[in-house]
A and B are shown apart, each in its own frame.
Chain A
Amino acid sequence: MVRGRFVENKLSSFYKAGKIVGGVYLGRGQEAVSASLACALQPGKDVFAPSIRDQAGRDAFGEPMIDCFRTYLGSVLGPMRGRDGNIHRGRPDLGMPAMISHLGAQVAVVAGMLFAKRQKGILADAVGATCIGDGSTSTGAFHEGINLAAMEKLPMVIVVVNNQFAYSTPNTRQFACRDLVEKAAGYGMRGHAVDGTDFLATASVIAHAVAQARQGNGPQFVVAELLRLGGHGEHDDASYIPEAVRGSHLGRDCIQVAEEQLIAQGVFTSDEIQAIYQETNDEILRVTAQVQQEPVPDPYQDDWSALSTPHLQPLPHQA
């Protein structure tokens, strides 16, 4: 989760320096949830469909840090080769689909990947997981996808990160139920609620939910309550978030909480944590120095084909 935070801090600097074209979407305050989920998964076997605030989870699932910077900076050597940017990246063949912008749409894709593994007879105890936001729960795609996953009894974990605001829209204009976890029962799923600012509680609840899915107890629905510690993107100053909410329990920084918890439990000393921070920053400097020297896409070299079948030529753009 620290690696996610530090990578995102660097992305923010690049954005402010004008080195990133397009938006920058960060997961500050959501790292405990994101990393807890990915740490409970097994790369190479499980499926993880990250959303826009899952740098920490992507990293924990094994996405190379360089994939992130290559995609944001448009390196042709990145997984998206400049054809798509920022958080719309993935390694679908390694169990990490590349999200589209349309919220909730990845739920059914994860269901399909698990369905295919079952159809091929290789599902065993694999699970699939995705993070979505409070805003996504209002979409038709979310409802269709989650209902289908539950009906198919797929080993899926859906983590709703309720960060209180969908862009600028507060929960009060998003849904009418008292708590999003109430939705679980309506889909025939087991619901789990957790304080997403509490690192140890989050890690424990999410690990339990993933284990439940892995043991064949059907899809699991986790709702983590927290506050997005920033805007929707780096272009957004989040001035619509009231001071009272920022200063509330929800506004705690999960990384500070994690530091305190881990030191208190004797897992790490303060010095050891500082060493992790230093090591992470050194890696970020090495990776970004490399990526900034890499080639960007050349429109004359791109084959401009949206189809993999070579003889099905696209239309000419001038006729």
Chain B
Amino acid sequence: MSITYIDAIREAQAHLLATDPRVFLYGQDIATFGGAFKATKNLAVEFPGRVYDSPISEDAMIGLAVGAAIEGLRPIIEMQFADFSSIAFNQIVNQAATHYFRTGIPIPMTVRLPSGGTPGSGPFHSQSMEAIYAHYPGLVVLTPATVSDAYHMLIDAVKLDDPVIYCEHKFLYRWLKADQIQPTNSLPIGKARIARPGKHATVVAYSAMVHEAIRAADRLVADGWDIEVVDLRSIKPLDIDTVLSSVARTGRLLAVGEAFPWGGVTAEVISRVSSEGFHLLDAPPMRLNARDTPVPYHPNLWAAHRPTPESICHALRQLLSF
């Protein structure tokens, strides 16, 4: 018996609906149909009156969630694809994110963003939006990379009184499996995790890139390199302490992200480590991102657009050559 990453997301929502009457789900095709990815399969039947199909109105979906949160409910909004949240951008960053600072009244709302690339998905069904939302004060941005984190971090997100952007990776939905969900959540929101201990260099990654980084690290064992991989788990807040303590052990840093290269999470990690841990570095910190183009459609192009175990190995060899 195994459970997939998307099963964990469904189970977390079932748990939340069963245990917290304030929770309801609102999103496109999520009721009878169970969602474009089946993350809400059967939930409308199991929890009548708690799971709603929305019109194709991302702006109004988040506006509705803000209003419902003001009234004390805990909406979970499913964006069909993270890319479409651009339509809801105003309500997320100006309405939801500013509300607590302006009024003193928090907005406990969770927005699920099916994120990242899969083969053949093309420019508008592949984007990674985490850095855009992390830029704005007033939002918590989570990027679970494991089955257990997908489950526990979604529950933690809904329990939080503040708005959470929950970035779930579409590539991990059915590819990533675990024997079981860990019964207890070992780490709170805002804490990173050492996904693979090592000593020669630190790779900081998140979401699907954690798995690509681990593959790259496994390949470099044959060359005698022992690479540490840090899974950020949470983009904002960013657990810079765990990153710095890893860099203190290894002296080398490569930050890997699937998002576009300008600014973003990897730039933030490099910036923080450079200013707060410059003395820990034995080599210039490096970063590896997607290419600075829209995400391409064809699998051949897509595979060369995002970081892969090959490109991560290549970057690590450069980093280790200093």
A: residues with CB less than 8 A from B are: 79-81, 83-84, 88, 90, 92-93, 97-98, 100-102, 105-117, 119-120, 140-141, 144-145, 147-148, 151, 305-309, 311-315, 319
Shortest CB–CB separation between residue A105 and chain B, in angstroms? 6
Decide if A109 touches B102 in the complex (CB within 8 Å).
no
State the CA gap A124–B153 with chains docked (Å).
36
Shortest CB–CB separation between residue A243 and chain B, in angstroms? 37
Decide if B66 touches A148 in the complex (CB within 8 Å).
no
**Known interface pairs A307-B140, A308-B106. Does A141 touch B67 (Cβ–Cβ under 8 Å)?**
no
Smallest Cβ-Cβ distance to A92: which chain B residue:
B70
- Indicate which residue in A108, A117, A311 contacts B64 across the interface (CB closer than 8 Å): A108
Decide if A115 touches B68 in the complex (CB within 8 Å).
yes
- Indicate which residue in A98, A111, A140, A312 contacts B140 across the interface (CB closer than 8 Å): A312
| B60 CB contacts on chain A under 8 angstroms | 107-108, 111, 141, 144-145, 147-148
Within 8 A of A (CB), among B43-59: 49, 54-55, 57-59
Decide if A315 touches B238 in the complex (CB within 8 Å).
yes
- Indicate which residue in B63, B105, B272 contacts A141 across the interface (CB closer than 8 Å): B63
Smallest Cβ-Cβ distance to A305: which chain B residue:
B101
Decide if A147 touches B90 in the complex (CB within 8 Å).
no
Smallest Cβ-Cβ distance to B189: which chain A residue:
A312
B292 within 8 A of A: no
B97 within 8 A of A: yes
Shortest CB–CB separation between residue B179 and chain A, in angstroms? 31
State the CA gap A145–B60 with chains docked (Å).
5
Decide if A116 touches B94 in the complex (CB within 8 Å).
no
Decide if B101 touches A306 in the complex (CB within 8 Å).
yes
Please report whether the interface of chain B is mostly helix, strand, loop or mixed according to DSSP.
helix
Shortest CB–CB separation between residue A111 and chain B, in angstroms? 5
State the CA gap A171–B189 with chains docked (Å).
50
| A119 CB contacts on chain B under 8 angstroms | 24, 49, 68, 73
Decide if B63 touches A107 in the complex (CB within 8 Å).
yes
Decide if A113 touches B57 in the complex (CB within 8 Å).
no
State the CA gap A117–B58 with chains docked (Å).
21
| B272 CB contacts on chain A under 8 angstroms | 319
For B, the interface residue count at a CB cutoff of 8 angstroms equals: 52
- Indicate which residue in A107, A108, A147, A308 contacts B161 across the interface (CB closer than 8 Å): A308
Decide if B91 touches A105 in the complex (CB within 8 Å).
yes
Most interface-central of A79, A93, A312, A313 (chain B CB within 10 A): A312
Decide if B70 touches A311 in the complex (CB within 8 Å).
no
**Known interface pairs A92-B70, A105-B94, A151-B55. Does A312 touch B106 (Cβ–Cβ under 8 Å)?**
no
**Known interface pairs A307-B162, A312-B140. Does A111 touch B276 (Cβ–Cβ under 8 Å)?**
no
- Indicate which residue in B57, B72, B190, B238 contacts A144 across the interface (CB closer than 8 Å): B57
**Known interface pairs A97-B70, A113-B68. Does A306 touch B105 (Cβ–Cβ under 8 Å)?**
no
| A100 CB contacts on chain B under 8 angstroms | 94-95, 98
**Known interface pairs A105-B90, A119-B73, A307-B138. Does A84 touch B102 (Cβ–Cβ under 8 Å)?**
yes
Kindly list the 4 A-B residue pairs having the minimum CB-CB distance in the complex, ordered from nearest: A112-B67, A108-B63, A116-B71, A144-B60
| A90 CB contacts on chain B under 8 angstroms | 103
Contact with A along B80-102 (1 / 0, CB 8 A): 00000001001100110111111
Decide if A116 touches B90 in the complex (CB within 8 Å).
no
Shortest CB–CB separation between residue B54 and chain A, in angstroms? 7
Smallest Cβ-Cβ distance to A140: which chain B residue:
B59
Decide if B73 touches A109 in the complex (CB within 8 Å).
no
Smallest Cβ-Cβ distance to B162: which chain A residue:
A307
| B63 CB contacts on chain A under 8 angstroms | 105-109, 111-112, 141, 144-145
Shortest CB–CB separation between residue B278 and chain A, in angstroms? 11
| A120 CB contacts on chain B under 8 angstroms | 71-73
Decide if B102 touches A141 in the complex (CB within 8 Å).
no
Within 8 A of A (CB), among B272-303: 272, 275-276
Shortest CB–CB separation between residue A149 and chain B, in angstroms? 8
Decide if A98 touches B189 in the complex (CB within 8 Å).
no
| B90 CB contacts on chain A under 8 angstroms | 102, 105, 141
Smallest Cβ-Cβ distance to A84: which chain B residue:
B102
Smallest Cβ-Cβ distance to A318: which chain B residue:
B275
State the CA gap A312–B142 with chains docked (Å).
13
State the CA gap A147–B238 with chains docked (Å).
38
Shortest CB–CB separation between residue A6 and chain B, in angstroms? 27
